[in-house]
Amino acid sequence: MATSAQRAGAIHPAWFVFWAAFLSASIYFLLDSVGDVMSPELQDGSTTWNRIVWYVGHAVIASPILLIAPLQFMPGLRQSRPEVHRWLGRVFLGGCIVAGLLGIFLGSTLYLPGSRIPLTLLASTWVFFAAIAWQAARRRDFVNHRRFAIRAFALGGAFVWVRIINKVQGDVFSWMPTEDLQETTKEWLTLFLPIFVTELWLNWGPTAKKLFARKA
């Protein structure tokens, strides 16, 4: 029979399923987006420098974040390999901050005016969450470090969420009169949904469960 320690360190199969699906989607959409960014048809006022170089820099810095995340959130890694966890954490959070700063520029200069505010807010919030997670680790406040690292991952994963929405927006948003309105709605959902789901899991869900639980 398994000991209590072994059971505590066991990883639920759903954990592997989630990360396998997320990494597969990340690789697929990353390869798919390379062709788009290298297209000779740039938006009005764009140059190779202010779109392609900045976008490629953003993608190159952000890509390792998606690969590091499963290791950082793997149960037991921090206890068994604390040095590995700390160094990967520095790369993870540092990459979030730099990629987020590049994202602020890319979002604020996007050719679709309706998408600029949500994308700039997303990138700014991403930098904010990563900076708090970094400072919390420095202060050895590991509870808040974990929570804000999860929030930073959720917004970093917007690279995947936005492309999933993009694949279905023609059907889901078919009742909207214009494509620009669909794009704007997609960008706002890309900001809202990760934060909503993360807070529902970290705070709102557990609080509601306690408050609505039947008293003994």
24-37 per-position pLDDT tens digit: 887 777 776 665 55
The most confident of the ranges 19-33, 34-48, 57-71 is 57-71
Contact 152, 160 (CB under 8 A): no
DSSP assignment of 2-14 equals --HHHHHH---HH
User: In this structure, are residues 94 and 113 in contact, taking their beta carbons and an 8 Å threshold?
Assistant: no
pLDDT tens digits for 102-149? Answer: 999 988 888 788 889 999 999 999 999 999 999 999 999 999 999 999
| Predicted TM-score of the model (pTM) | 0.83
Give the integer Cα–Cα distance in Å for 196 and 89: 24
Share of the chain above pLDDT 90, in %: 38
Query: Does residue 54 register a pLDDT over 50?
Result: yes
Give per-residue burial for 179-191: e unless 16+ CB within 10 Å, then b: eeebbbbbbbbbb
What's the chain's average pLDDT? 83
Question: Which tokens go with 150?
Answer: 């999860």
Residue 51 or 107, more confident: 107
Q: Which class for 156: exposed (0-12), middle (13-18), buried (19 or more C-beta within 10 A)? A: buried
In angstroms, the CA 165 to CA 148 distance is 24
For residues 95 and 67, the answer to whether their CB atoms sit within 8 Å is no
Backbone angles phi, psi at 215, to 5 degrees: -70, 145
